[in-house]
Structure 1
């Protein structure tokens, strides 16, 4: 919603200000289809040329995600912390029973209680692999933390491919606008024998290319790329919460303290409150 409002505000202020200042919208509208064909077509072609098929397939869903916002909400972080709380308690009280849950998470009663978490293969894999490693005596907290940091860094690198590709396209758009403007100037020079009023319109149409390149780059594409990077950064923090709780568990801290460490790792606007989390944990203890 805010993304659509931002685009509407940007477009209305730019073109509205131009019209109120006495500019002729008709000049822009006349040149717009041809300039957009040159700039947009060249940008799309360059984007296809410079990116792999997997990135191209992810682009449209990623654009939708930029407007929808983070996948993980505050309730999801609370569910994750409750899941980790139960697994850590089980790891300390009955390691043999824990193996049944981490070897087959899809059939685990603990995992299945949190359908949104279990739907994320990467999150489930990180949890199961780390707990499995600990059961095999690979439980040095510092080594495990380093391993998880590298694994999350690889996930982040993959998740940031589309934002970086969009930013690269934004960086190229002003230059493509200049290409369109130069072509317009070439066209104008071919009609140099025309009267000044005709040449003026042709030069104005040529400059529309420069305007569109800069406007699309800094008014639309770059902000969308930045928004997508921010959204994915919030989602990636979900894995940092997992890492924090599991590493705290390997340090043999109390289970409640491990969960609190994870809660404080979550982004502030997605962090469940202390009271809400404590209430949820009490319900789990009561049901056990």
Structure 2
């Protein structure tokens, strides 16, 4: 773990090596062990049930972001929590009856030999809040996202604490992503100092990209939830076409409901749903086009800065 102030370094051989005016990103933390996090993660219904039975256990249930939810520019809202018991409270877990019973029902992902600490205890270091806003970098896919929460992070993800949105623009640009995909260590990456107005402009573009990407994500989820609520039999999951409903025209959507949900859109509701689908596709297309324009502007500006 690194928790250092940004440092000044000396002259570059390329845009990502050190220079007299290139502070490095060093406020880095890493995500939780994915197997342990998966075992201890719970959904909203389970979290609410545990809190109803043991209201005092609420502080031990922390919001969780899994690596799979780290998408370009934004975090997908998964509504996940993790049971986050520090070692100091392990001996008193029986005071939380419902939580203790839930832990007893779990199968540990691995058992530490001769360990005096229960397997479900999380290290104090992992439970310490990481200052927001943060930049999350998913290591396996070099995906960069903005996060303004203090949720715990699971999986192969690095966290840049107390982050500057200018860094987000740089790391999330085509130039920054290319550097990450080349294997340049994040802690070694150099982000150049540029004039204040340029930084502010790129920071604003990056935050707008984050906002738009989140809105698009929320729209995709909201329409899918409505499709399932109106036409999905209980327990039926959408297939690949419905998961990308905005790519379908209405006839294709109708066929996907037939094929993937084994259901029909009743004839009397088809005109209404055709209009809903048209309106939401239009909204999606406009937002996506605007997002593409913003990302192109970020890529162009960062590439020009990297060449100087």
Q: TM-score range by the shorter chain?
A: under 0.3
Structure with more helix by fraction: 1
Give the number of the structure with larger relative contact order, counting CA–CA contacts within 8 Å between residues 6 or more apart.
1
- TM, length-normalised to structure 1: 0.23
Q: Larger radius of gyration, structure 1 or 2? A: 1
Structure with more strand by fraction: 2
- TM, length-normalised to structure 2: 0.21
